Amino acid sequence: MTSQRQACEIRSDCDVIVVGSGFAGIYALWQARQRGLSLRGFERASDVGGTWYWNAYPGARCDVESYNYAYFFDESIVRDWSWSDACASQEEIQRYLKFVAERCNVLEDIAFNTEVLAATHSLEDGLWSVTTSAEETVICRYLVLAIGALSEPKTPDIEGVNSFSGDVYFTSRWPKDEVVDFSGKRVGVIGTGSSGVQAIPEIAKSAAELHVFQRTANYVTPTRSGPMDPNLVAQLRKNPHAVRQAARETYGGHTPLDIGTERFLELDDAGRERALQKAWDGKYVPLAFRDAYLFEANAAISEFVRKKMLEQVEDEWTANQLVPWDHPYGGKRPCMSNAYLQTYNLPHVHLVSLSETPIEQIVAGGIKTSKDVIPLDVIVYATGFDAISGPLFAIDICGTDGKLISEAWADGPSNYLGTMVHCFPNLFLPSSAMSPSVLSNMATLAEQQIDFIFDTIDWLENNGRPLIQPSPESQERWREETLHYAKQRPGALTTKSWYSGANIPGKPRVFMVYCGGFKRYNETCYKEIAEGFPGYELLKI
Ligand code: NA7
Residue 380, φ and ψ in degrees, nearest 5: -110, 120
Task: Enumerate long-range contacts of 522-528, CB under 8 Å, 24 or more apart.
Answer: 522/248, 522/448, 522/452, 524/417, 525/417, 525/419, 525/448, 525/452, 526/452, 526/455, 528/417
pLDDT for position 10: 38
Note the pTM of the prediction, 2 decimals: 0.96
Say yes or no: CB of residue 442 within 6 Å of ligand 1: no
Nearest residue to 488 via CA among 333, 323, 301, 297: 297
Instruction: Specify the pLDDT at position 275.
Output: 98
In sequence order, what DSSP letters do the residues of 120-164 get, joined into one string? EEETTTTEEEEEETTS-EEEEEEEEE---SS-SBPPP--TTGGG-
- Which residues have a Cβ under 8 Å from the Cβ of 175 and sit 6 or more positions away? 56, 169
CA dist., res. 273 & res. 270, Å (int): 5
At residue 31's C-alpha, the angle toward residues 25 and 36, to 5°, is: 130
Centre of ligand 1 to C-alpha 400, Å, is 35
Sign of CA dihedral 15, 106, 57, 440: positive
H helical segments located in 295-339: 295-312, 316-322
Q: Confidence band (pLDDT; 50, 70, 90) for 9? A: very low
Q: What angle do CA 458, 115, 147 make, to 5 degrees?
A: 50
pLDDT digit string, tens, across residues 418-433: 999 999 999 999 989 9
| Chain Cα centroid distance, residue 533 | 28
d(CA 179, CA 176): 8
For the cut 80, the answer to whether the pLDDT of residue 469 exceeds it is yes
Amino acid identity, residue 424?
Answer: F
Rounded to an integer, what distance in angstroms lies between the CA atom of residue 306 and that of residue 309?
5
Q: Do residues 445 and 253 touch, judged by C-beta distance below 8 A?
A: yes
Q: Determine the residue of 53, 503, 504, 513 to mutate for testing ligand 1's pocket, defined as the one with the most ligand atoms within 8 A of the Cβ atom.
A: 503
Which residue's CA is minimally distant from atom 23 of ligand 1?
384
Among residues 309, 536, 480, 392, the alpha carbon closest in space to that of 19 is found at 392
What whole-number distance in Å separates Cα of residue 460 and Cα of residue 428? Answer: 13
CB atoms near residue 46 (< 10 Å)? 11
Domain ranges of the chain: 3-152+386-539, 154-218+333-384, 256-331
> Cα separations (Å) of 205 from 175, 184, 200, 353?
19, 11, 9, 21
d(Cα 133, Cα 189) in Å, to the nearest integer?
33
Compute the distance between CA of residue 257 and CA of residue 68 in angstroms, rounded to an integer.
9
Other beta carbons within 10 Å of 80: 11
For ligand 1, whether the C-beta of 193 sits within 6 Å is yes
**Contact by Cβ (8 Å): 32, 110:** no
Residue 1 pLDDT > 60 = no
Q: Which residue owns the Cα nearest ligand 1 atom 30?
A: 194
Indicate if ligand 1 lies below 6 Å from the C-beta of 191: yes
CATH topology of domain 3-152+386-539: FAD/NAD(P)-binding domain (3.50.50)
Span from the CA of 499 to the centroid of ligand 1 (angstroms):
11
Largest CA distance in the chain: 76
Instruction: Look up residue 76 and give its amino acid.
Output: S
Q: Which atom of ligand 1 is nearest to the CA of 383?
A: 7
Residues 80-85, mean pLDDT to the nearest whole number:
97
Q: Average pLDDT, stretch 399-417? A: 97
Which pLDDT does position 11 carry in this prediction?
A: 55
pLDDT at 8 over 70: no
Q: Hey, which of 55, 69, 194, 441 would you mutate to test ligand 1's pocket, going by the most ligand atoms within 8 Å of its Cβ?
A: 194
- The tens digit of pLDDT for each residue in 250-297 reads 999 998 889 999 999 999 999 999 999 999 999 999 999 999 999 999
Residues in Cβ contact with 365 at an 8 Å cutoff, skipping those fewer than 6 apart: 165, 166, 373, 375, 376
What is the per-residue pLDDT for 541? Answer: 84
CA distance 378 to 363: 12
- Span 154-218+333-384 CATH architecture: 3-Layer(bba) Sandwich (3.50)
> In the predicted model, what is the mean pLDDT of the chain?
96
Of 374, 410, 426, 431, the C-alpha closest to 120 is 426
Distance 229 CA to ligand 1 centre (A): 32
For residue 62, the tally of other CB atoms under 10 A from its CB is 25
Residue 194 Cα: closest atom of ligand 1: 26
To the nearest 10°, report the CA torsion of 338, 343, 344, 347. Answer: 160
Kindly report the protein residue whose alpha carbon is nearest to atom 33 of ligand 1.
Answer: 194
CA distance 71 to 104: 12
Verify whether ligand 1 is closer than 6 Å to residue 216 (CB atom): yes
126 lines ligand 1 (CB under 6 A): no
Separation CA 323–CA 313 (nearest Å) = 10
Query: Whose Cα sits closest to atom 31 in ligand 1?
Result: 194
Report the alpha-carbon distance of residue 406 to residue 408 in Å, rounded.
Answer: 6
> Is beta strand 467-470 parallel, antiparallel or unpaired with respect to 396-398?
unpaired
- Which three-class secondary structure state does DSSP give residue 253? coil
Q: Whose CA is nearest to atom 15 of ligand 1?
A: 383
For the stretch 301-336, pLDDT in tens is 999 999 999 999 999 999 999 999 999 999 999 999
What per-residue confidence (pLDDT) applies to 257?
87
The arithmetic mean of pLDDT across residues 366-379, rounded, is 98
Cβ of 438 closer than 6 Å to ligand 1, yes or no, is: yes
Q: Which amino acid is at 170?
A: F
Whether 3-152+386-539 shares its CATH topology with 154-218+333-384 is answered yes
Q: What is the pLDDT of residue 256?
A: 82
Can you give 332-390 as a three-state secondary structure string?
Answer: CCCEECCCHHHHCCCCCEEEEECCCCCEEEEECCEEEECCCEEECCEEEECCCECCCCH
pLDDT higher at 229 or 256: 229
Task: Identify the burial level of 281 via C-beta atoms within 10 angstroms of its C-beta, where 0-12 means exposed, 13-18 middle and 19 or more buried.
Answer: exposed
Per DSSP, 12 falls in state -
158 CB within 6 A, ligand 1: yes
Give the Å distance between the CA of 155 and the centre of ligand 1. 12
Structure confidence at residue 6 as a pLDDT band (50, 70, 90): very low
CA–CA distance, 442 with 431 (Å, rounded to integer): 8
Q: Is 369 in the pocket of ligand 1 (CB under 6 A)?
A: no
What residues are paired with 139 via a beta bridge? 129
In the structure, what pLDDT confidence band is assigned to residue 53 with cuts at 50, 70 and 90?
A: very high
| 4 pLDDT tier (thresholds 50, 70, 90) | very low
